[in-house]
Amino acid sequence: MKNNQSLTGGCICGQVKYQITDKLLFTQACHCKDCKVLTGSSYIVNSSVLENTLIVEGEVSSTELKAGSGASYKTYFCTKCGTYVYADYDSAVGRLTVRTKTLDNSEKFPPQVHIFTKDKDPWLNLSEDVICFKEMYDQKKTWPEESLNRYNEYLKANSK
């Protein structure tokens, strides 16, 4: 591990705590309608991490949902307070998606892009230097090279 400062976070009641033992791969905000309902807010902020870098303590339960693309994903909640802490998308092989705002210092990880801004609330103004996509983006063209390399190396090392 190159990064010796691990990231920590957890749910609102304190029952679930987690550690991320390497840098985040990518952080994005999603304004799609599903994410609005899921969060009860205007958008969600999610961070992709390698699946072997998320260490969760405490009891979580999960439920399976369908993404806009039709692919399934599981969301994981604290069994006591219901805080949605992370998700496992079938389409994101080798990765888990942490809900960025459950990190202890989440303000340090602003979204690198905003997606599904076609569904953005009309009264929500994003600053002009923010990168927006009407829907989804091409990961290879959008993620920083370091993240792509780290992800590809992980896939290579763990493919059977």
Residues at the contact surface with Zn ion, assessed by CB under 5 A: 11, 13, 15, 30, 32, 35, 78, 80-81
Centroid of chain to Cα 34: 15
Tokens for 45? Answer: 């902020």
Q: Among candidates 143, 113, 107, which has minimal Cα distance to 28?
A: 113
Comparing CB distances to Zn ion, the nearer of 81 and 130 is 81
Nearest approach in angstroms of CB 121 to Zn ion is 13
Comparing CB distances to Zn ion, the nearer of 59 and 153 is 59
Comparing CB distances to Zn ion, the nearer of 24 and 35 is 35
Nearest approach in angstroms of CB 123 to Zn ion is 19
Nearest approach in angstroms of CB 86 to Zn ion is 13
Comparing CB distances to Zn ion, the nearer of 24 and 44 is 44
Nearest approach in angstroms of CB 97 to Zn ion is 11
End-to-end CA distance of the chain: 23
Q: What gap in Å lies between CA 114 and CA 130, rounded to an integer?
A: 7
Nearest approach in angstroms of CB 52 to Zn ion is 24
Cα→Cα distances 105→24, 59, 95, Å:
13, 22, 21
Comparing CB distances to Zn ion, the nearer of 22 and 112 is 112
| Contact between 86 and 98 (Cβ < 8 Å) | yes
| Contact between 77 and 83 (Cβ < 8 Å) | yes
